[in-house]
Amino acid sequence: AVPLLQVSGLSVAYSGRGGPPVQAVRDVDLEIVEGETVGLVGESGCGKSTLGRAILRITEPTAGSIKLLGLELTSLRGRLLRRARADLQMVFQDPFSSLNPRRRIADIIAEPLLRGRGASRAEAAETVAGLLELVGLDRDAGRRRPHEFSGGQRQRIGIARALAPSPRFIVADEPVSALDVSIQAQVVNLLADLAQERGLTMVFISHDLGVVRHLADRVAVMYLGEIIELASRDTFFAGPAHPYSEALLSAVPTPERRPDRERIVLAGELPDPAYPPPGCLFHTRCQYAIPRCRSEPPLLRQIQRGRMVRCHLPLVPEHAPAAT
């Protein structure tokens, strides 16, 4: 089957202030099939959000290709781009900043439907009523304005707005990390239910591996703008292959984690992305680094069925049967 979304060689560079350009996203290849949720994880500043925004063309990529069902998105302009945008929606981290405070909720939710799909007012009103119910809000919520809602409710509004044009693909960028812990699970469960019931295809960006474990079919780990591991959820949580993934996972409690495994505290700081280290980008913090790691950048390669890793010395035996 043709993947719903095919990202290849995607890079985003920012001009550095006086310094060299900053490569926020480096040469990312990612294929996502219909109905799949990919959890995109990594420390803040690793390029997760930039990758998500570049896929939606909220941020312009500097190189690479993004295909939605075979249609190249990077070359679309004007009306064609607006139309394609209806198929690609984003749920933002801070729902308040993405909701216009002066507008009524019904108009906020209807906007991508009216603009991107050319729906009539009557069609939009009906869809909005259905969406409010779907995300667990009262019908009369549509008449109110964003400040009248709590953070969790605003995120429900953000989700309803993203779903309004029946997009083919959604990027949710840390959708619960600005919410109270007590509300996070409700919103995560709402997204999980919607993914199931509506067959949503989603990239779910999070620094919280517990949430990703709950939602994702596959996990992609980023470090300094690169994808360094990509694996099915069960394979990944059964035992990461990249030393950086191992460190990330050691910080969260998981049922699989053996009690003898200690939390790995990474040495050193995240390098300045304007001055990335040579060789493996992770070598300055890797406890397994060998001389080769300091000069030769590892390629992202498949070491097991359904598992890609960018490391000269992966932590799982190559070509061993995968956990699933």
**Residue 49 interacts with Mg ion (CB under 5 A): yes or no:** yes
Decide which of Mg ion, ligand SF4, none touches 243; Cβ closer than 5 to 8 Å per partner kind: ligand SF4
CB 49 within 8 A of CB 173: yes
Q: Which stretch binds Mg ion (CB under 5 A): 42-50, 267-275, 278-286, 288-296?
A: 42-50
**Residue 311 interacts with ligand SF4 (CB under 6 A): yes or no:** yes
272-279: list long-range contacts, CB under 8 Å, 24+ apart: 273/22, 273/23, 273/24, 273/45, 273/224, 273/225, 274/16, 274/19, 274/20, 274/21, 274/22, 275/19, 275/20, 276/23, 276/224
**Residue 312 interacts with ligand SF4 (CB under 6 A): yes or no:** yes
Decide which of ligand SF4, Mg ion, none touches 313; Cβ closer than 5 to 8 Å per partner kind: ligand SF4
Taking the complex as a whole, the smallest distance from the CB of residue 24 to Mg ion amounts, in Å, to 11
Task: Report which DSSP code applies to 324.
Answer: -
Taking the complex as a whole, the smallest distance from the CB of residue 44 to Mg ion amounts, in Å, to 6
Tokens of 79: 């009306």
**Residue 283 interacts with ligand SF4 (CB under 6 A): yes or no:** yes
Q: Which stretch binds Mg ion (CB under 5 A): 27-35, 44-52, 59-67, 185-193?
A: 44-52
Q: Which of 163, 159, 171, 169 is nearest to 40 (CA)?
A: 171
Q: Figure out which of the listed residues 289, 300, 306, 322 binds ligand SF4, where binding follows CB under 6 A.
A: 289
Closest to ligand SF4 by CB, 264 vs 289, is 289
Strands (E), the chain: 5-14, 22-32, 37-41, 63-68, 71-72, 88-91, 169-173, 202-205, 218-223, 226-232, 301-304, 307-309
**Residue 184 interacts with Mg ion (CB under 5 A): yes or no:** no
Decide which of ligand SF4, Mg ion, none touches 49; Cβ closer than 5 to 8 Å per partner kind: Mg ion
**Residue 37 interacts with Mg ion (CB under 5 A): yes or no:** no
**Residue 223 interacts with ligand SF4 (CB under 6 A): yes or no:** no
**Residue 204 interacts with ligand SF4 (CB under 6 A): yes or no:** no
Handedness of CA 202, 207, 211, 212 (dihedral sign): positive
CB 293 within 8 A of CB 254: no
Closest to ligand SF4 by CB, 198 vs 294, is 294
**Residue 153 interacts with Mg ion (CB under 5 A): yes or no:** no
CB 9 within 8 A of CB 27: yes
Interface with Mg ion (CB under 5 A): 49
